Each structure stands twice: as structure tokens, then as C-alpha cells.
Amino acid sequence: MEPNSTSALARLAAVQNHLTIQPCFQRHAIHNDQPTGPADLARERANASFKVEDMTEVLLRGKENVEAMALAFQMIQRDPDLRMRAGHHHDLTRAEDREQTMRQIARTIELRKQIKDPRLQQALFTAMSFYSESFSMRIYVHEMLFKQAVTLFGTSEQQDQWLADIEAWRVIGCFAMTELGTSSNLRGLETTSTYDRATNEWVIHSPTLTSTKWWIGMAGETATHTVAICQTIVDGENHGINWFIVPLRDPKTGRLLPGVTAGDIGHKSARQGLDNGWIQFTSVRIPRQNMMMKWASMTPEGEFTPSPNPVLSYATLIPERFTLLGGSQVILSQSLTIAVRYGAVRRQGNHDEQILDYQTHYTSLMPGVAFIYALNIVDHELMTKWNEVAGYAQTDAGAFMREIPDQHGVSAGFKGAMSWYATEVLENCRRACGGHAYSSYNAIAGLIGDYGVMTTGGGDNAARYLITTLKWAQEGQEVLGSVSYLNDYKKVLSTSKTTLQDSRDLLHHDFVIDVLTWASAKKATEMGTILAEAGKTGFDEAWNTNQTELVRLADVHSWRYFLILYQQGINRHKHTPVYEALRKMGQLMSTFVLQKHLDLFLEEGYFDGSHAKMVRQLFLEQCKDLRKDAIPLIDAWAIPDFILKAPIGKYDGNIYPAYFGTVTAAQKSYEAPAYWHKYAHPMLNAKKSCKC
């Protein structure tokens, strides 16, 4: 990993040579070789309808945070242990990438001890998360998943025992949930924790191959501890799943402890700097106190009390799912920065147009731009609420248990709906860069790989929550939160046709929400009736026969609530100079959602053809309008070039020399490679008459 300075210099010289010989080409040029990109971007920036700095303040929530982020980026760019060293990130071996990531972690933890301003501490972690997805995931595993298992499920004594060590990284924790044979289906997992009354210990055991804990971040090479979710066996009886802290490696030597077998998961589609691993436990003994005992508990006398509600054991899934909104912002904002800037710089066609001016181009990218803003705003709303709910775990168990179901429902629905669309946005970005996205040096391919870890279904769970709460509402119980509209389902369904007259109606938030409320209530009651008629015995089959429609229902429901939270969020910025731009993006997202489900409104006769055409037309106009602010909207995310690592997305728009320079710097030599002499030379020089 250390740069070989001779070859690095040679490469640099080669690059400079390539760049400096360009001007002399000009003489023969039939096209002007002066780059048009910088002027294009300058013009786009001059025409911005708002001040970029104002928007950045909204995205980062205040001037102080903006300053902290700017300083954090500077710290990264200058610190030799934080910044990526010689050679391109994508040309590192897996071992080098692992080392680099751990070096960055160690340095960040060192820095955190020195930094007194908590804002800057946070900014440094955020900035590093934009810089490296492997870093981000390592931090996330230890500081979110491992730590939250202690804060959500541990007693205050247990928190006293563990939290200080976790915060100082005197332990490195991982999160052993997934198993080889059972992924998200937690009830079916096989690892057991069996209480041994003779010694007051839990015996952790992996009974089968499929019970191997799988994909566990940092289990491959680095974690010293894990929280493992296990079936809890007491006196031969299974009391369901609970969380146990199990030491994995000796912190002095890094060697695996007896009974623990753990290894590396090997090559993945991305995030090679993170050591995903697998773990098998063979009769590993841990003290009684290593069970997380806030909800379930085992007294020193051997008295076991199960959790009041099994759903509590899955509560870590909620912040895990909500992370999708933050993680998606990091990945999508970078991809869109690259694709939008490239679209504004690249010229093609009969009149050498900026390709971003093509309708199919801006309609594929601009809803994505609005989407990342919506993710930012909605994420903040959700996190504010979740922190409140998570706080109840310490202060008000009753409130905690009351709030958990809606948090489950919302997080599952959002994970499904938002990750699907995010994947589409990434694919749009990839295509918007043409062939150049195929080069690893333009980052998008890597970002798509990184995103892969975030996309698994969730829509089905959200539909279950909807159907259940609808039943409650039909029975006269008041339902709360994301499903509160079900309380009035009868009134909602008393109309059967939209009152839409003019496309301007679609600019009103409440109007759009009413359309989506109708569609969601309509589908929910239709499904509810079918499932009720199927009865208890026929339920699972009826569910499966209607699963496609149930997922569609969850999608409509989730987007509806997403739009509501967005509006709620931007209302907090009503008096800022960028409110108008935020509102426009919300309007575009609304039309986008309507267009996404046009077939449903048409099919149910709620819309007719003229309504559909109104929606489509408005969508095109809104995209075209927002396209004018494309570059400032992207600039406001303030992602420095060295973080982006994508020459075609450079801030100054002078992309080709940078791209060419990156590619030539990666070239080792211009000589024929050894294999050429071995395999190409004999073919090329075979005699023509040779019939061998």
C-alpha cells in the first residue's frame, strides 16, 4: 500500500506529458478543444433561483454544521491516515482496502478524543461516511448496531458495564443476527443459548451449518465481541429470542477464543474494506449477566422472566431500517452530483446540446434530485420521532411499547418503497453517464455496488401492519401515526371519483394526499375483506394469492406518508429563502408518486384519461422547471471532488483532462505485459502454412 515513489513519479510524468501535449493538437482540430464545461457550469450557477449556501444550511441544519463539515472535509483531505493514499481506491487489493479502512477508523477515534466540539465530532463521522462506505459500515456496526443492542435491551447496570468501552473502542463489537439459512426471518433462527444452572452460565451453540451467523460485519477479522441473537433455552424449554454478548477474540492477540470459529466472507460486490464474516459457536460459555436483560431477565437465583412482548426483541430492526434514508442520501447524492454535472457538461446531438436538456435525460434525473432532498427532510422527521421513542425505552416502557408498532410499520414500508426507487435512481444515473459510468474511476458503479447491501424487501411487512390496523379501525379502535387515515375510511370512500379539474389542483399538498388516501383506503378495505372472508385457516393462502396487490398497497401507503412527512418537515423552513425551491421539489415528488400509480387510479375509475394526461403533462413541466436549478441543487450538497472520486463529476466542469489523467495514472507501463509474450506472440507469429 505504501506508494512506490519511483513508479508514482513516472506515472505522474506520463500524465503531465499527456496533458501538456494537448495544446499543440489544436492546430489540426476540426472541433475546438477548449473545454465548454467550465463555462456551462458557470452559467448554470449564475442562473440559480436561490443561494446555494442557504440550501446547504437547510440540508445540514444550520450554519455551524456547515462550518463543521467544511473543517471535517479539510481534516480528511490533509490527514495522511484519513485520506486515501497512492493508487486509486478501486485498484487496492482487498487486504490493502481492509488496512486502509481500519487505519481510518483508528485515526478517527484518536481525533474524536481531541476534538472538543461535539458538532465537529459528528461532522467528521458524517464526512468520512461520504468518503468511504466501508468505513461507514464499520462504524455503523459498532456504534449503531452493537451499541443500540446494549442501550435498547440492556439494563442500566449493563449499560454502565459496556458503554464506556464501546465508546472508546476498547471493545470492537459486531452484531450477529443473520444466519446462513435464515436471513430476516428471526423467529426461524437456529443458534441456541442454553442456561446451565450448575454454573449460572449461558452456553451459546450453533447446532447446524445453516445456523452459522453470516454476513456479520467485522466478524471476519476484527471484532472482539458480538451481540448474538439466540433461541433462549431454559430447562429444556424455548423462551424465544434474546440478545447475548459473546466475546470472540483475545484483545491482546486478535486470536479467536476457544469455541469460536469465525472467518471472512471473502469477495463481495462492494465494501471490500469491511471484513464481513461468519461465526460458529461450539458450546461457548458466557456469564449469566451477558444476556441483555432490560425486557427479559435471568436472576442470580435462576429465575427467568421472558420479555413482555416478543416484538421488542426486533426493535433494533427499526433504526436499522430507518438507516436506509440516511445511507441512501450519502450514495444517491454522490451519484446524482456526478450524473447531473456530467449531463450539464457533456454536449451531443445536432446542435451540440447539453445532454441534460434532453427531456428523457432531465425527467430521469430531476425526480431523483427532488428525492434526495425529500430523503433528507423526511429522515430528520423520522429520527426526531425515533429518538423520542427510543428514549421511552429508558423512561416509559408503556409508551415505548405503544409506539413501537407504528415505527415497525413505517420503517418496513419505507425500506421497501424507498429502496426500490433509490435503485432506479442509481440505474438512471449510471445510464445518464453513458459508457463512462462503466469505469470504476467515475465512482457510480462502486456506489451501486455499495447500495446493494441496502435493498431487501420490506413491503410485505408493511402491508401486514396496514391490514391489522384496518381491522382495529373497523372494530372501532382508534389507530395512530402513519395509519390514522384508516379511522375515517368510510368517509374517505364515500366518493369514487376525483374532483380534479385543473392541473393546478395537483400543486396542493392536501389534494394529492387526498387522492393517495382514497387509493390506499380503497385497496386496504378491498384486501381486508378478501382476507377476512378467507378466515383464519385460509388466511395464508389468501395472503399469497393477493401478495402483488398487497405490496402495491404498501407502496401507495408508504409514499403517501413520505409526502406528508416531507411537507411537515419543510414547514419548519417556511421562513427561509429556499422554501420555494423545497416546495417545488415536494410538488414534483407528489406528481411523481401520482404518475407511478396512475394505472391504479385509472383502473379503479378514480381518474379518467384526461386526468392521467394532466398528471403526465404536469410531471414533464415540473421536471423541466426544476432542471433550471439542477446544478445549484446539486452543489448545495457540497460534496468535495476528493470525496466524490469521479473526474466526470468535477465541480469545475473541466472533466476530460482529469478523467484522462486518472486513467493514465493507473497504467503501470506501456510495455507489452508478460502474458503477451506467453500467449499472444506464438499466435501472431505462427507460420501461415503451419497445419499443426
The type of residue at 667 is Q
- Which residues from 16-75 bind its own copies, rule CB under 8 A? 18, 22, 25-26, 28-31, 33
The burial of 526, by beta-carbon neighbours within 10 Å (0-12 exposed, 13-18 middle, 19 or more buried), is given as middle
Query: Min. distance of Cβ 478 from its own copies in angstroms?
Result: 29
Q: What CA–CA distance (Å, rounded) separates 245 from 286?
A: 8
Q: Which residues pair with 263 in a beta bridge?
A: 278
Strand-pairing partners, residue 245, are 227
Q: Is 4 in the site for its own copies (CB under 8 A)?
A: no
Among 45, 83, 90, 572, binds its own copies (CB under 8 A): 90
Q: Find the shortest distance in angstroms from Cβ 593 to its own copies.
A: 14
Please say whether the beta carbons of 68 and 120 come within 8 A.
yes
Which residue ranges make up the annotated binding site? 178, 217
Tell which positions 272-331 bind its own copies, by CB under 8 A. Answer: 278
Q: Which of 159, 183, 309, 487 binds its own copies (CB under 8 A)?
A: 183
- Residue 4 — φ and ψ, nearest 5°? -80, 105
Given a contact cutoff of 8 angstroms between Cβ atoms, the answer to whether 229 and 177 are in contact is yes
**Of residues 549-578, which lie at the interface with its own copies (CB under 8 A)?**
551
The size of the chain, in residues, is 692
The sign of the torsion formed by the CA atoms of 75, 81, 82, 83 equals: positive
Q: Is residue 598 close enough to count as binding its own copies by CB under 8 A?
A: yes
Using the minimum distance from each CB to its own copies, give the nearer residue, 574 or 670: 670
Which of positions 491-530 make contact with its own copies (CB under 8 A)?
A: none
For its own copies, the closer CB: 157 or 250:
250
Which listed residue (306, 310, 457, 481) binds its own copies by CB under 8 A? 457
CB of 541 to its own copies, least distance (A): 10
Site for its own copies in 615-644 (CB under 8 A): 620
Which 395-434 positions form the footprint of its own copies (CB under 8 A)? Answer: 423, 427, 430-431, 434
* In the complex, minimum distance from the CB of residue 372 to its own copies, in angstroms, rounded to a whole number: 20
Among 66, 144, 265, 493, binds its own copies (CB under 8 A): 265
**Which amino acid is located at 460 in the chain?**
D
Instruction: Provide the grid cell at 595.
Output: 404518475
The minimum distance between CB 690 and its own copies, in angstroms, equals 9
Residue from 472, 602, 628, 641 that binds its own copies (CB under 8 A)? 602
Rule CB under 8 A: say whether 605 interacts with its own copies: yes
Q: Which is nearer to its own copies, 155 or 595 (CB)?
A: 595
Report the distance separating Cα 513 and Cα 433, nearest Å.
Answer: 35
CA angle 217, 221, 224 (to 5 degrees): 80
CB nearer its own copies, residue 159 or residue 261:
261
Determine if 441 is a binding residue for its own copies (CB under 8 A).
yes
Q: Which of 116, 197, 575, 688 binds its own copies (CB under 8 A)?
A: 688
Rounded least distance, CB 565 to its own copies, Å: 26
Phi, psi of 47 (to 5 degrees): -90, 10
Residue 121 CB contacts under 8 Å (≥ 6 apart), including other chains: 112, 115
Residue choice 435, 478, 533, 537 for contact with its own copies (CB under 8 A):
435
Q: What is the dihedral of CA 563, 564, 570, 574, to 10 degrees?
A: 130
Least distance (Å) between residue 31 CB and its own copies:
5
Task: Please give the helix or strand (H or E) that residue 354 lies within, else none.
Answer: strand 353-354
Binding-site residue positions for FAD = 178, 217
652 binds its own copies (CB under 8 A): no
Judged by CB, which is closer to its own copies: 364, or 376? 364
Residue in 71, 180, 507, 530 binding its own copies, rule: CB under 8 A:
180
Amino acid at the residue 111: L
C-alpha cell at 320: 436499522
Measured from the CB atom, is 288 or 464 closer to its own copies?
Answer: 464
One residue of 78, 116, 575, 691 binding its own copies per CB under 8 A:
691
Say whether residue 186 binds its own copies (CB under 8 A). no
Separation between Cα atoms, residue 352 and residue 400, nearest integer Å: 59
Give first-to-last CA distance, the chain, whole Å: 46
Q: Which stretch binds its own copies (CB under 8 A): 122-130, 473-481, 530-538, 605-613?
A: 605-613
For 85-105, b where at least 16 C-beta lie within 10 A, e where not — what string? eebebeebeeebbbebbbbbb
Q: Which of residues 113-142 bind its own copies (CB under 8 A)?
A: 113
Question: Footprint of its own copies on residues 340-379 (CB under 8 A)?
Answer: 348-352, 357-360, 363
Find the binder of its own copies among 164, 257, 311, 480 (CB under 8 A): 164
The minimum distance between CB 397 and its own copies, in angstroms, equals: 29
Cα separation, 294 vs 104, in Å, equals: 34
60 burial via Cβ count (<10 Å: 0-12, 13-18, 19+): buried
Rg (CA), the chain: 28
- Whether residue 620 contacts residue 364, with contact meaning beta carbons closer than 8 Å, is answered with no
5: contact with its own copies by CB under 8 A: no
**Stretches 259-267, 286-294, 560-568, 577-585: which one binds its own copies (CB under 8 A)?**
259-267
Query: Min. distance of Cβ 428 from its own copies in angstroms?
Result: 11
Binder to its own copies among 54, 67, 79, 91 (CB under 8 A)?
91
Strand order in the sheet with 260-264: 213-217, 276-281, 260-264
Q: Does 660 bind its own copies (CB under 8 A)?
A: yes
CB 196, CB 299: distance < 8 Å? no
Does the protein bind its own copies through residue 455 (CB under 8 A)?
A: yes
Biggest CA–CA distance in the chain, Å, is: 92
- Rounded CA gap, 228 and 151, in Å? 15
